[in-house]
Amino acid sequence: MLEDIKISRAIIGRYSEDLINSLESDVAIVGGGPSGLTAAYYLAREGLKTVVFERKLSTGGGMWGGGMMFNQIVVQDEALSIMNEFGIRYKMFEEGYYTANSVESVAALTLGAVRAGAQIFNLISMEDIMVRGNQFVGLVLNWTSVDIARLHVDPLSVQCKVVLDSTGHEAKVTNKLVEKMGAVLNTTNGSLVGEKPMWAEQGEAATVENTREVYPGVFVSGMAANATCGGHRMGPIFGGMLLSGKKAADLIIEKLKNR
């Protein structure tokens, strides 16, 4: 016999366990798009306690829709080793241009991150940062539904050793740092440089180049790296996002090892 109340108890109990267990982590990743998921995989695989907070119902960010809803993505040679690592199938279109199904890509990145040990929470938005003096110490979270309904409900906080801003074009974490703390960032102008117009080749290179620690304990990846440090957009080519996620993970692993 199935008891309805037991189903509720199981869900509330398990979820609460996971959330309480995530109140303190090594790395909190804000945004479960391609760069955040890639980083989550490599960080968790290294044994770091990694938690991803994703605002939407589904992970994958801007990857689902491929280019203008044609659900294919393009990747270049440099990113094929990461595609292989996640078991994402691809086909050569022309030399140097490979296509993959965007739905398979999101599913594989998500499963890879989870199986590596990352904890993913969907439907939770980062609404602020937590600091001690000038030091970044954690994130302030709320249900996305609270934000959408514009309800005046106070948030909860989580602590982490480092945060990765993988929020895409909006660069939510670095924006908060500048807006609320007047933080001086490790960028060319010390502040948010901003995203530039479409230029795939430059944008892809910049995405990886811009992936860095922009403030003590605060890293940026993917389009958030370009929005923060300045870089062209690149349309539906995703190799740079995967490479950026891996670079972010490598930098964070290095930092936490040396602590």
Is there binding between residue 242 and ligand 48H (CB under 6 A)? no
* HSE (side-chain half, CA atoms, 13 Å) at 22: 24
Site string for ligand 48H, 123-162 (x = CB under 6 A): --xx------------------------------------
- Size of interface with ligand 48H, in residues (CB under 6 A): 30
Q: Of residues 73-132, which lie at the interface with ligand 48H (CB under 6 A)?
A: 125-126
Compute how many other C-beta atoms are within 10 angstroms of the C-beta atom of residue 95.
7
Nearer of residues 48 and 241 to ligand 48H, judged by Cβ: 241
Nearer of residues 160 and 258 to ligand 48H, judged by Cβ: 160
Tell me the closest approach of the beta carbon of residue 28 to ligand 48H, in angstroms.
Answer: 10
Pairing status of strand 218-220 against strand 212-215: antiparallel
Tell me the closest approach of the beta carbon of residue 109 to ligand 48H, in angstroms.
Answer: 10
Nearer of residues 65 and 117 to ligand 48H, judged by Cβ: 65
Tell me the closest approach of the beta carbon of residue 208 to ligand 48H, in angstroms.
Answer: 12
Is there binding between residue 223 and ligand 48H (CB under 6 A)? yes
Q: Of residues 30-69, which lie at the interface with ligand 48H (CB under 6 A)?
A: 30-36, 53-56, 61-63
Tell me the closest approach of the beta carbon of residue 11 to ligand 48H, in angstroms.
Answer: 22
Tell me the closest approach of the beta carbon of residue 3 to ligand 48H, in angstroms.
Answer: 35
Contacts with ligand 48H by CB under 6 A lie at 30-36, 53-56, 61-63, 125-126, 166-168, 170, 172, 198, 222-224, 233-235, 238, 241
